[in-house]
Amino acid sequence: MGLTIYDIAREAGVSIATVSRVFNNSPRVAPHTRKRVLEVARRLGYQPHVSAQSLARRQAQTVAAIVPMLTNYFFVEVLRGLQDRLAETSFDLLVYAAPTLSDVNAHLERALQRGRSAGVMIFSTPMTEERVERLRRSRQPVVLVDSFHPDFDSVSIDNEQGGYLAARHLLEHGYQRIGLLMAHPDSVPARERRHGYERALREADLEPDPALIVASTDPHNHGYTEEGGYEAMRRLLERNPRPEAVFVVSDIMALGALRAIEETGLRVPEDLGLIGFDDLRVSRFLGLSTLRQPMYEMGKLAAEKLLRRIAEPELPVTSTVFAPRLICRRTCASDEQDGQRDVTTLTRNLA
């Protein structure tokens, strides 16, 4: 069924090399020849065969994104940025999303298959030595999103600073006993956020209280899930005395945490202050205070870095760290505004 370069060549009275040159915008082809070839190709409805191109060029025309799970919309927002940048190129986007963390390796293997993609972006995945070794062996361009390793390009957020700002913000609002809702302890970003939180407390002459730190035990995605947040918050609220405010290391967990809080009948922010991390779009509707990550921009930049490295593999490695931005909404009883619309009364209306 499919037309080949041979059909076009014959019809246009040229060789296949010329047809190929035309479609690759080679300057070494006479204007009128180019015109004729394109005319014939259009008339016959010819399209180059992507797999054949990939094979001959020794480079796939796709780029892979490996995402822990699509239920956390953080990843979706980053993907949007990726996609928008890639749409400007000839690379198409392969998306690998695993329902559980264990599958990340399986997806990684698929994405790294030879001839599959020209490069991969790996989201929020701890860089174990084993994984690093696997990536190196693949000799493929790699960009890390929301994680770090000196051998690979990366884009991430200043987690320590974010945790610091979160805790300090709660302190500034008069809360004293500040709890922490952690993801799994082996999540590097979560650990960094925790360090920032501890720094803020110490700066206020408060010693972090291990009893007020509870980690999500959901096995999925290092605990960054709604269910994980729900369950961890339930445990945290059993503490006696209970915390006056809580920093939750991610908005998706904060969603579950809010449910848990509601079930106990506590009021936010009067009885309990709350601040999250990420600034998902839903957070605005909930009036959730949080630390914003510029997810879309991070996606765009990640795509940019990958494209650059595909073009020039020997470029020096760069790692870009974005600064988190405090978004003050209702859940921490602030009188400040974040410059955006405030949804305070929205939720009141609904009640």
| Binding positions for its own copies, rule: CB under 8 A | 1-2, 45, 47-55, 60-62, 64, 70-71, 73, 76, 79-80, 83-84, 87, 92-99, 103, 106-107, 110-111, 113-116, 137, 139, 255, 258-259, 261-262, 265-268, 281-282, 285-287, 330-331, 341, 343-351
CB of 106 to DNA, least distance (A): 20
Q: Is 282 in the site for DNA (CB under 7 A)?
A: no
Choice from 11, 25, 35, 53 touching DNA (CB under 7 A):
53
- Name which of 50 and 323 has its Cβ closer to DNA: 50
Q: Return the residues of window 100-129 that contact DNA according to CB under 7 A.
A: 114-115
Binding partner of residue 202 among its own copies, DNA, none, CB cut-off 5 to 8 Å per kind: none
Burial of residue 312 (number of CB atoms within 10 Å: 0-12, 13-18, 19+): exposed
Picked from DNA, its own copies, none, the partner binding residue 21 (CB below 5 to 8 A depending on kind) is: DNA
**Using an 8 Å Cβ cutoff, are 312 and 118 in contact?**
no
Nearest CA among 112, 124, 80, 147 for reference residue 299:
80
Calculate the alpha carbon distances from 86 to 94, 239, 289, 303, 326 in Å: 11, 49, 32, 7, 30
Pairing of strands 142-145, 153-157: parallel
Helix, coil or strand: residue 344: helix
Q: Which long-range contacts (CB under 8 A, 24 or more apart) does 33-37 make?
A: 36/12, 37/8, 37/12
- Which range in 12-20, 203-211, 238-246, 309-317 contacts DNA by CB under 7 A? 12-20
Check residue 321 and report its DSSP letter. E
Q: How far is the CB of 142 from its own copies (least distance, A)?
A: 16
Q: Is residue 30 close enough to count as binding DNA by CB under 7 A?
A: yes
* # residues contacting DNA (CB under 7 A): 32
Task: Tell me the H-state helices in the chain.
Answer: 5-12, 16-23, 31-44, 50-57, 73-86, 103-111, 129-138, 159-172, 188-203, 226-237, 251-264, 281-286, 295-311, 344-350
48 is a site residue for DNA (CB under 7 A)? yes
**Pick 213 or 332: Cβ nearer its own copies:** 332
By the rule CB under 7 A, 350 interacts with DNA: no
> In the bound complex, what is the minimum distance in angstroms from residue 230's beta carbon to its own copies?
10
Interface positions with DNA (CB under 7 A) = 2, 4-6, 13-18, 20-21, 23-24, 27-30, 32-34, 47-49, 52-53, 55-58, 114-115
